[in-house]
Amino acid sequence: MPDALPPPDVNTLLAIMARLRDPKDGCPWDVAQNFQTIAPYTIEEAYEVADAISRNDLDGLREELGDLLLQVVFHARMAEEAGQFAFGDVVAAICDKMIRRHPHVFGTAKVADAEAQTTAWEATKAEERAQKAAAAGERASVLDNIPSGLPALKQAEKLQKRAARVGFDWTEARDVIGKVREELEEVAAEFESGASMARLTDEVGDLLFACVNLARKADIDPGMALRGTNLKFERRFRRVEELLAVEGRTPDQATLAEMEALWVRAKHEEPGRG
């Protein structure tokens, strides 16, 4: 008979994971996993947290945060088994970092407002990156430690923000709008000239990068903006399907003009449509 688990808290979760990973009596699937196989699930759970937030689903958020916490515990357990570090070390590291990066809360430093704190935070991070590069005998870059595995929109935003901190940035938002128009014209020119897929891909990438820049200048998270548009598209297209179903039809049985008309109707049914 397995030992009873204590009342639910983080130690209970750690005990559950230890039992799941037990080579003899654990779950065969959990025992077979490693950092590489679990990483995609970690990313997926982070996206599901963001999705619950975008839908203002607090019950779902509670559940998804638990799923994300499980990922942290899973990775920490595997590291502990390998003799590298344990969950307690993960907690200690983030506690140390939060205290170090908030000297105005845990020390004697003073900051005027949230903007000043952001500036101080970024300065501390830059110093940490420089120290890390020096320890490795490498030349530090303002672009260091931007993960290559980030979603492309978020990676572009981070690259732009880092460059902006050293003055490499557009001065006015209207300049960025002009850049978006310029890149769109270049995409159109490549289409019209029958350019290669590689060339067209390059130009579309430039256009997307410029759009991210515009969102950044407007203080808009491009990923969240696109996620909102995705949800809007899904909601309206599902409404088109509903309206066609009333007629006993499916989208593949309707013309584009008919679906466009129903799309406009779906759009006008929504309050605050955009």
Q: What pLDDT score does 99 carry?
A: 93
Task: Render pLDDT for 39-92 as a digit per residue (tens, 0 to 9).
Answer: 999 999 998 998 899 889 999 999 999 999 999 999 999 999 999 999 999 999
State pLDDT tens for residues 201-257. 999 999 999 999 999 999 999 988 998 899 899 999 999 999 999 999 999 999 999
What's the pLDDT tens digit per position in 129-188?
A: 888 888 888 888 889 888 888 889 999 999 999 999 889 999 888 899 999 999 999 999
pLDDT tier at 30 (50, 70, 90 boundaries)? very high
238 and 262 co-located in one domain: yes
Long-range contacts (CB closer than 8 Å, 24 or more residues apart) made by 103-111: none
Task: Tell me whether residue 48 is in a domain.
Answer: yes
Q: Do residues 130 and 61 both lie within one domain?
A: no
- Please report, for the domain that includes residue 80, its CATH number: 1.10.287.1080
For residue 272, pLDDT beyond 80: no
Q: Which two tokens stand for residue 229?
A: 């548009």
Asked whether residue 79 is assigned to any structural domain, the reply reads yes
pLDDT band at 6 (very low <50, low <70, confident <90, very high): low
69 in a domain, yes or no? yes
Residues 18 and 63 in one domain: yes
Asked if pLDDT for residue 2 goes beyond 60, the answer is no
- Quickly state the pLDDT bin for 1 (edges 50, 70, 90): very low
User: Is residue 26 included in any domain, yes or no?
Assistant: yes
What Cα–Cα distance (Å) separates residue 181 from each residue in 74, 113, 163? 47, 36, 22
Residue 115 has pLDDT above 50, yes or no: yes
Res. 7: pLDDT tops 60 = yes
Residue where a domain terminates, one of 98, 127, 157: 98
Find, among 169, 163, 171, the residue nearest to 126 by Cα.
163
The answer to whether the beta carbons of residues 227 and 50 sit under 8 Å apart is yes
Domains held by the chain: number: 3
- Choosing from 81, 111, 145, the residue where a domain stops is 145
In a domain, 114, yes or no: yes
Same domain flag for 64 and 17: yes
Predicted TM-score (pTM) above 0.85: no
Residue 81 lies in domain = 10-98
Same domain, 55 and 117: no
- Could you tell me if residue 187 is inside a domain? no
DSSP secondary structure, 81-125, as one string: HTTS--HHHHHHHHHHHHHHT-HHHHSS---SSHHHHHHHHHHHH
